[in-house]
């Protein structure tokens, strides 16, 4: 697995990109505890003069052992930054109300027990300040908006869609991200282990993609966010305004047409 990712990384480096993105949990070991892999990635980054964004499970200090789903930024200096996934997948990465229904973990071996992150981290770059949403976090507009308000001028989505196989899951998952791009007029770079990897323009257009189970790399120039949209500033103000207007309209109609007693 690592040999494949390293070969693809060197292929991508030939185009001299500002950042190379690996998918979610691409590292088969806990990167922060794998000194050899850290050294290998740092050496690659130094030789290519390109930072690497690598997905990995992390093991936190302390007892009992706790785990996170993490994006690590690696340069020639080693690990220089991290983002821990905030919105974990229920019944996949944790069990909701585990004290009450924790027994369901015994029903399926794939249910993990991860710790959620707490901060919408914006990496300073290079190539520019960017945020990362892991897996399905991009379906949450408020979380995505937090990264943009924290200064992200580019967004990255790294995901492991291998769970879905050759189903409608991967294209449906990809279909969420044009909405996020349009809401903030921000470009999105997406790296998926089995596909669909893609570049999404601030207009929502998917202008370059690598399909399901197609091994390869894609490289593109993407524009950086220039300003803040109304949605970036105010969030779901349109929906709330529409709700207030609808309630007011119903109230006015009820006062004008009171029901007569029979």
Q: What is the pLDDT along the chain (262 residues), one digit of tens a residue?
A: 999 999 999 999 999 999 999 999 999 999 999 999 999 999 999 999 999 999 999 998 878 888 999 999 999 999 999 999 998 987 667 666 555 455 555 555 556 678 899 999 999 988 899 999 999 999 999 999 999 999 999 999 999 998 889 999 999 999 999 999 999 999 999 999 998 999 999 999 999 999 999 999 999 999 999 999 989 998 888 788 888 999 998 888 878 776 644 4
CA distances from 77 to 26, 38, 142 (A): 20, 10, 33
Name all contacts of 15-19 with Cβ < 8 Å and 24+ positions apart.
15/219, 16/50, 17/50, 17/219, 18/50, 18/125, 18/126, 18/127, 18/128, 19/50, 19/51, 19/52, 19/53, 19/125, 19/126, 19/127, 19/130, 19/189
Q: Which two tokens stand for residue 167?
A: 């189903």
Do you know the residue count of the chain? 262
CA distances from 65 to 116, 118, 131, 252 (A): 14, 18, 27, 59
What are the helix (H) ranges across the chain?
2-13, 35-48, 98-101, 141-149, 169-174, 177-184, 230-234, 237-256
Tell me what pLDDT residue 110 has. 54
List of domains in the chain: 2-235 (3.60.110.10)
Tell me what pLDDT residue 261 has. 46
Tell me what pLDDT residue 158 has. 96
- Give the phi and the psi of residue 80 in degrees, each rounded to 5: -115, -5
Q: Three-state DSSP class for 214?
A: coil
Residues acting as catalytic residues: 24, 85, 135
Tell me what pLDDT residue 262 has. 47
Tell me what pLDDT residue 190 has. 97
């Amino acid at each position: 697995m690592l040999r494949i990712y390293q070969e693809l990384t060197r292929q991508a480096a030939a185009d001299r990109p500002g950042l190379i993105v690996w998918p979610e949990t691409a590292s088969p070991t806990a990167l922060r505890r794998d000194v050899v892999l850290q050294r290998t990635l740092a050496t690659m980054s130094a030789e290519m003069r390109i930072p690497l964004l690598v997905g990995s499970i992390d093991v936190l200090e302390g007892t009992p052992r706790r785990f996170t789903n993490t994006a690590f930024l690696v340069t020639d200096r080693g690990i220089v930054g991290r983002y821990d996934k905030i919105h974990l997948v229920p019944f996949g990465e944790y069990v909701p109300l585990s004290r009450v229904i924790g027994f369901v973990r015994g029903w399926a071996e794939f249910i993990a027990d991860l710790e959620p992150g707490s901060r919408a981290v914006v990496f300073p770059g290079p190539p520019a300040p960017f945020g990362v949403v892991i897996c399905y976090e991009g379906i949450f507009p408020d979380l995505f908006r937090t990264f943009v308000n924290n200064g992200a001028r580019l967004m990255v989505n790294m995901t492991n869609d291998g769970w879905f196989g050759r189903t409608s899951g991967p294209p449906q998952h990809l279909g969420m991200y044009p909405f996020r791009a349009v809401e903030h007029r921000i470009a999105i770079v997406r790296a998926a282990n089995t596909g669909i990897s893609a570049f999404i323009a601030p207009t929502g257009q998917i202008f370059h993609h690598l399909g399901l189970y197609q091994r390869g790399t894609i490289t593109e120039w993407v524009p950086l966010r220039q300003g803040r949209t109304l949605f970036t500033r105010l969030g779901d103000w349109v929906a709330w305004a529409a709700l207030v207007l609808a309630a007011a309209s119903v109230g006015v109609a009820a006062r004008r047409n009171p029901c007569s007693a029979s």
